[in-house]
Amino acid sequence: MVDQKEQDQNAGRIEGGIDAIVLGACADGLAAAAYLGGAGFRTILLEAGSEIGGEIRQRELAPGISCVDGDHLVTVLDPETIADLDLYRHGISYAARRMDTAYFFEDGQSLEVEGDLLNAAASIDEEIGGGVEFQTFTRDAMDMAAQLRSAFGVSVRKKSRQRVLGKAVDASPDIARRLNQYLLSAGDVILDDYLPDGTLKTAMLSEVAFRSGAAPHEPFSFMNLIRRWAGEVSGLQAATAYPKNGTVSVIDALRRAVQAAKVEIRAASPVSKILTERDEVAGVQLANGGQIRAPIVVAAMDARRVFLDMIGPDDIDIEFQRAISAQPLNISTAQLHLVLKGFARDDKTKEHMRRRIVYAPNSENLRRAFATARAGDIPTDLMIEAIFPNAMENDEGNDDRQLLSLMAHPLPFDLTADATRREAITAAILECVEKFAPNIEERIEISDLRLPIDLAENTGAHPAAFAARSGVLQQWALSDCAARAGQIEGLYFCGPEAQIGAGISCAAGRLAAKLAIHEAKRGAQAA
């Protein structure tokens, strides 16, 4: 990795002989760089900050206690990228591959659902009944998710997505009917059809709503769940997994893949401008005044920064500018790290702590929460996803303290948040946590809230990059548009707007790099 001192020495220099530049060392940027380097392209990966990983980064909360910002679980990690880049060899391994989920409800009830959803019927029957209905629901939804899996990748040509949907429609009249229903209907309407039991419906409703900008009672919202269940982790569809050493280990594996592909990583190298000449990309201008010339630039940063700041509105189409800047941004997810006093030592408690814990508000309260968050206020009922990272690692703890990582949704999307606002958000999250972990507040030693603006500050991105995105259909349209990169030849985009749904995926990076490689080879052949 090239350091800051060397960067300063390069100020004002024009570098040539580079085949490709990747902007942003987030998961997608790393994946894209590894693909390009692996294809024999002389590639430079430029990262504005001093660390790689984008929003996924490890921090020390207290001496001996580290947390990981960004996603704390993986759900949609692209299997093709893992295989192509040989990420297992580069160090990805899982502490838990198919995590069970414990749902807690407002009325004090709880429900344990096996990580293997297709086999969860028996245990559900035992606990609350309705196992058969749940099995029908998960089978139908996961069938559809499998059918649509490739439609959730980035589609540079709209027709390829249409082809996937067309194929699903042609498969059978039943699938065509269900596809129509799943695409258009609200999550709670579909769940009403499948799950008469209120508890099961509430649990699944929270899964539909989690990290989505579309409330589960709104049209098109059900596809959020289908998108998540279309994802794979270590070959397991719809699984939720915890990588050893946390999600930061995915970044570490990608970094090793990048190094193996002989890509030069330059940290602390902010880019001020993407250079275009006669509608083709020509390289980048660095903030220190230097230039790197290359015929391929892959941008793995948020669309606003890439197209509005680095290219500028005077060089992109009005319709394109509108598409990338007109997303409704009013919902976000917050992450709260808690360092708790005390450490469970008995096996039974430890086993419980190795699950994914979800607090699921009822349908009415969830609906109210979305409305409140959209109005800019803090909802009283939030959906919470919680994990105990130390328990996942079988970490025995060395100073009798326990880390709890929480994701809370839906919260308002704030462009600024003062200490009072942060306190109010923390209090709202803790109030929900109290409902399934009574008296937890007494055990809190450190509480650390991460909002989209914090992630934006860490990465230098626009906070919009970390807002919850709207329904899948709108995301499809946005990703199609963003992936075309304003029709600038040689520019490829794999920022957050190119991805469908939340979570570490790398699919956008893979597709952008593969397209760049394909077009460069085709261009070379034509020449």
Considering only CA atoms, which of 489, 511, 476, 497 is closest in space to residue 183?
476
Comparing CB distances to other proteins, the nearer of 285 and 325 is 325
Cβ-contact 231, 75 below 8 angstroms: yes
- Closest CB 16 distance from other proteins, rounded Å: 24
Considering only CA atoms, which of 347, 315, 365 is closest in space to residue 105?
365
Comparing CB distances to other proteins, the nearer of 81 and 321 is 321
- Closest CB 318 distance from other proteins, rounded Å: 5
Residue from 8, 126, 279, 423 in contact with other proteins (CB under 8 A): 279
Please give the Cα distance from 437 to 217 (Å, whole number): 28
Cα torsion through 134, 139, 142, 147, rounded to 10: -150
Cα torsion through 466, 505, 300, 277, rounded to 10: -130
Residue from 415, 434, 487, 521 in contact with other proteins (CB under 8 A): 487
- Closest CB 281 distance from other proteins, rounded Å: 12
With binding defined as CB under 8 A, does residue 53 bind other proteins?
Answer: no
Size of the site for other proteins (CB under 8 A): 16
Residue from 153, 463, 486, 501 in contact with other proteins (CB under 8 A): 486
Segment near other proteins (CB under 8 A), from 117-125, 150-158, 232-240, 485-493? 485-493
- Closest CB 92 distance from other proteins, rounded Å: 39
The two tokens of residue 472 are: 């899948």
- Closest CB 155 distance from other proteins, rounded Å: 18
Residues 6+ apart with CB under 8 A from 344: 350, 353, 391, 402
**CA distance to 151, 385, 392, 461, 527, per residue, from 427 (Å):** 39, 16, 26, 27, 63
With binding defined as CB under 8 A, does residue 277 bind other proteins?
Answer: no
- Closest CB 163 distance from other proteins, rounded Å: 19
DSSP string, 244-284: TT-THHHHHHHHHHHHHTTPEEESS--EEEEEEETTEEEEE
One-letter identity of residue 284:
V
Comparing CB distances to other proteins, the nearer of 66 and 325 is 325
Considering only CA atoms, which of 169, 170, 171, 165 is closest in space to residue 150?
165
With binding defined as CB under 8 A, does residue 488 bind other proteins?
Answer: yes
Contact string (CB under 8 A) for other proteins, positions 295-334, x = contact: -------------x---xxxx-xxxxxx--x---------
Residues binding other proteins (CB under 8 A): 279, 308, 312-315, 317-322, 325, 486-488
